[in-house]
Each structure stands twice: as C-alpha cells, then as structure tokens.
Amino acid sequence: MSFTQEVKHEIAQVTLKECCLKAETAALIQLCSSMVIRDQNLQLSIKTENATTAKRVFKLIKDRYNPEMELSALKKTNLRKNNIYILEIKTQTKDILTDLGLWDKEGFRSTPGKAIVKKECCCRAYLAGAFLAAGSINSPQKAKYHLEIVTLDDQHAHYLIELMDRFELNAKVTQRRSQYVVYLKASEKISDFLRMAQANNAVLDFEEIRIQRDFHNSLTRLDNCEVANEMKTMAASKVQMEVIQELKLSGKFEELDEKTQEMAELRMAYPEASLNELCEAYAFASGIVISKSGMKHRLAKLMAYKNRAQ
C-alpha cells in the first residue's frame, strides 16, 4: 500500500459530525462526479481508482439519502491495470446536489455554497474529502516532499487555496495539461495538512521518517563540511611548510623575528594540525595562550615575508 493509500484509508475511518459528513460528501462529489442524462432523468456518475474512496462515498450517500444506486468496477487496459470504481446515482440527483450546496437555479456550481464550509470543522472535512477524491502525497522517504489535489476547474482550484489559507497552509496552484494542481511542498505544511485532515497516524509516520531523513542529511552535510575544512587545512599547511623549507635553504629563516620562527617550527612539527590545534600545541609548549586570529596573523606574516624575499 502506498503512502497516499494509507493516508486515504485513515481519513475514511474518521468519525465526523453530521455537518462535516455533508461537507466531505460535497467535496467527493464535486471532484469525482459527472452528470449524465439517462431515460430523461438527471443522474450522477462518480468515478475513482481508489477502493477506499469508492466505499466512503457510497456509504455517505446511502446513509444520508438512500437513492437508487449501482456500484461497479472496471479493469483498466493500460499497463497499471488498476480498477475503476463507478458509482451511478440514478434518483434524487438534484435533491442531493441542492442539499450539498452544489446546485442552484443556474445549475451545477463550481464551488459549494458558503454554508457548507462555514464552520472550521466543516472546512477541514471538505479538504479531507477533496484529498480522498483527487489527492496524492509523496512518501516522506523520497527526496522531495509533495502533496497535491487535482481539479479540472480553475475557480475550484483557487477555492481550495482559500480554504487552505484558513489553516495557513500557503498552498500554490499550477496547471498540468487540462488540470489545475493545488500543491504543498514544505514538509511542515504537509504535516499540518495531514493533522488538519485528522490523519494522525500518517502525521506520526511522516514526521518520524522526515526527521530521520533530515537528521541523516544534516550529518552528511556536516561530514562534507568537515572534510572540506580538513582539505583546506592540509592544502594551506603544505604551502606553509614549502615556504619554511625554502627560507631555511636560502638562509633567510634566521631573518624572521623570534615569534614567527617559533610558529614556523610548530607548523613543521604538526603538519596536519588546524589553527585551533596549533594554538593548543603552542600553549602547551610555551605556556602562553594565543588566539586563533593571532596564530593566523603569524602565518600570514610568514607568507608576506616570503613574498618580499622574492
């Protein structure tokens, strides 16, 4: 089972209040259904590839309206060969749509009436239903975090963003062929969405895997930084030792002041030491504490002397 399926399965098990069930049903119908006319009757055809979503919408409509319905499954002919679940609502179509705020005198609405999502709990339920109908989420084990809800209507896409803004999710929208994709990419916002949809187990799984990945990535970055610093130290040390050797061979080493000579001998004794390690070695040998900037200044003085000598 994919992470998306796990999240949808958990959302479908949530017990909701009557008003919230209505909001969730509205989202499911709005994103999964199309209207058809058969035998001079207006009917709804609800299609989904997710079995959990099909069971949820069937139960919600049956419990609230109990219309004449027919549920069937078809096998897709593409390589994935997933089932397509089709729920046909053959009676009470207008009554159902009107009750859900999806039908008015002008016909089918692109967004539900304000009363459907007026309460915060109903807004949560509507967004949860939208995810059940047309949502997906990357596994937190993947390199990129991504949650999206797909709709065919631009106005409805911005409506979803407005609802998400009530929870400060800062969703964005992009167009993908003839579809509009409302998406979240920040891991914290995705976690907030799952929490809002009451997918609490998914939140725990998502956060645990995310923290492990982020911790591992942080360690990797730290290791890379340490390796880079060590390489820089070794490269600088090699140049400094070459300068010291040249000065000794040319007889100019004795022209250096006493402190610079001490530092040079210290570098020769500890060729792989960092500035901090050189400071510690100098303090141990002489009993005099020198700062990192002081040690750096003496090394720079050595290099400057070498350049003058040339």
Let me know: does 112 contact 30? Beta carbons within 8 Å: yes
Q: Cα torsion at 26, 28, 34, 37 (round to 10°)?
A: -60
Q: What is the pLDDT of residues 231-240, one digit of tens each?
A: 777 777 788 8
Res. 119: pLDDT tops 90: yes
User: What is the spatial distance between Cα 234 and Cα 240, in angstroms, rounded to a whole number?
Assistant: 10
Answer yes or no: is pLDDT of 26 > 90: yes
Mean pLDDT value across residues 57-84: 84
Q: Mean pLDDT over residues 190-213, rounded?
A: 87
| Mean pLDDT of the 105-117 span | 89
- Confirm if 120 and 128 have CB atoms less than 8 A apart: no
Does 227 or 191 have the greater pLDDT score? Answer: 191
Residue 246 pLDDT level (bands cut at 50, 70, 90): confident
Read off the tokens for 165: 């803004």
**290: its two tokens:** 């020198």
What is the band of 38 on the pLDDT scale with cuts at 50, 70, 90? confident
Task: State whether the Cα torsion 3-170-132-192 is positive or negative.
Answer: positive
Residue 227 has pLDDT above 80, yes or no: no
Q: Rounded mean pLDDT of 36-44?
A: 81
Domain chopping of the chain, boundaries: 3-198, 233-309
The torsion angle over the Cα atoms of residues 191, 194, 196 and 199, rounded to 10 degrees, is -130
Q: What percent of the chain has pLDDT over 70?
A: 90
pLDDT class of 287 with cuts at 50, 70, 90: confident
Mean pLDDT value of segment 155-172 = 96
pLDDT (average), residues 102-113: 88
Given the DSSP bridges, would you call strands 135-137 and 41-48 parallel, antiparallel or unpaired?
unpaired
Question: What is the 3-state secondary structure of the chain?
Answer: CCHHHHHHHHHHCCCCCHHHHHHHHHHHHHHHEEEEEECCEEEEEEEECCHHHHHHHHHHHHHHCCCCEEEEEEECCCCCCCEEEEEEECCCHHHHHHHCCCEECCEECCCCCHHHHCCHHHHHHHHHHHHHHHEEECCCCCCCCCEEEEECCHHHHHHHHHHHHCCCCCCEEEEECCEEEEEECCHHHHHHHHHHCCCHHHHHHHHHHHHHHHHHHHHHHHHHHHHHHHHHHHHHHHHHHHHHHHHHHCCCHHHCCHHHHHHHHHHHHCCCCCHHHHHHHHHHHHCCCCCHHHHHHHHHHHHHHHHHHC
Residue range 78-90, pLDDT digits in tens: 656 678 899 999 9
Q: What's the pTM value of the predicted model, to 2 decimals? A: 0.69
Residue-level pLDDT at 55: 92
Give the CATH number of domain 3-198; options: 3.20.20.100, 3.10.28.10, 3.40.50.620, 3.40.50.700: 3.10.28.10
Residue 225: the pLDDT is 65
Please give the Cα distance from 268 to 290 (Å, whole number). Answer: 18
pLDDT band at 307 (very low <50, low <70, confident <90, very high): low
Q: Is the pLDDT score of 228 beyond 60? A: yes
